[in-house]
Amino acid sequence: MRIVVVLVIVLASSALNAQVKGYLGVRGGGHFSTTYIEHTLYNTVMNTGFEPGYHGGVMLKLFTNQSPTSFLNAGLQSGLLYEAKGWRQTFDTDEPTYHVRMNYLNFPIEAIIYAGKRKTKYFGTLGVFLEQLLSYDKDPDPNTSNIGGQEFYTYEPNRDKKFGYGIRFSLGVHRDFSFGAIHLDAFLSYSASSFIRTEDFSERLPDLTNHYLGGFTLSYLIPFGKMEFSQ
């Protein structure tokens, strides 16, 4: 993760000192998310599955000055994002499936590597994000005497963390039109920080509780800046 942070800082510094082509607009999309729940020392038995979710917000994209001799060029991507993620737990008994949704405000900073010097550009991004829990919704706790040989852990607001961080990777295509630009990507995201707060292993609470998700994003962007792409 340190390498990603250094790369993002270098690209941001470069963007501030170079001629750039910028884009600002709105983004939204869908995803499936779940949560890895495990303990470093003790075996945790839980059947967790994916939940559908959505995200939306604003996007800022900067393409830096293009090299005339390089096929690949760099840029920077950021914004603010509302992101709904969570998980489900199923049981081998007649106990109903348990659902959790946690809604975050997400601030990503991502490095862009892109190919293409005309209207269409193919790109990949890699970066980090910070997230702040805004709200949550969860089902009533299951009857723990009726969940077979499984364990049950969930988010507890009086105990657990509201702030987190993670990494994000995407591949996509960017196309300029007369009315603006369209951005489409497929992404994977992983919250490297655990949301359950554990201070002592003897509590036996899972110390690895990480959200991860995959989905797509569609954005409409308005261009600004003086840089013209090479023909």
Q: What CATH number is associated with residue 88? A: 2.40.160
Grouping H, G, I as helix, E, B as strand and the rest as coil, residue 34 is strand
Question: Does 172 have pLDDT greater than 60?
Answer: yes
Question: Does 179 have pLDDT greater than 80?
Answer: yes
| Half-sphere exposure in the Cβ direction for 72 (13 Å, CA) | 7
**pLDDT value for 164:** 97
Largest CA distance in the chain: 68
Please write the tens of the pLDDT for every residue from 116-163.
878 899 999 999 999 999 999 999 999 999 999 899 999 999 999 999
Q: With pLDDT > 70 as the criterion, what percentage of the chain qualifies? A: 88
**pLDDT value for 212:** 95
**pLDDT value for 70:** 73
CB-CB contact of 197 with 161 (8 Å): yes
In a domain, 95, yes or no: yes
Question: Does 17 have pLDDT greater than 90?
Answer: no
In a domain, 97, yes or no: yes
Question: Containing domain of residue 117, as a range?
Answer: 2-224
In a domain, 229, yes or no: no
Number of domains in the chain: 1
Give Cα separations from 9 to 6, 23, 76, 126 (angstroms). 5, 19, 10, 13
In a domain, 119, yes or no: yes
In a domain, 212, yes or no: yes
In the chain, the amino acid numbered 33 is S
> Average pLDDT in the 8-30 region?
72
**pLDDT value for 53:** 96
Backbone angles phi, psi at 139, to 5 degrees: -70, 160
In a domain, 230, yes or no: no
CB-CB contact of 111 with 97 (8 Å): no
pTM metric for this prediction: 0.86
In a domain, 194, yes or no: yes
> How high is the mean pLDDT of the chain?
89
When pLDDT is cut at 50, 70 and 90, the band that residue 5 belongs to is low
In a domain, 185, yes or no: yes
Highest mean pLDDT among 10-24, 31-45, 197-211: 31-45
Q: Compare 149 and 171 and report the one with higher pLDDT.
A: 171
Please write the tens of the pLDDT for every residue from 35-89.
999 988 888 999 999 999 999 999 999 987 677 777 788 899 999 999 999 999 9
> Average pLDDT in the 162-172 region?
97
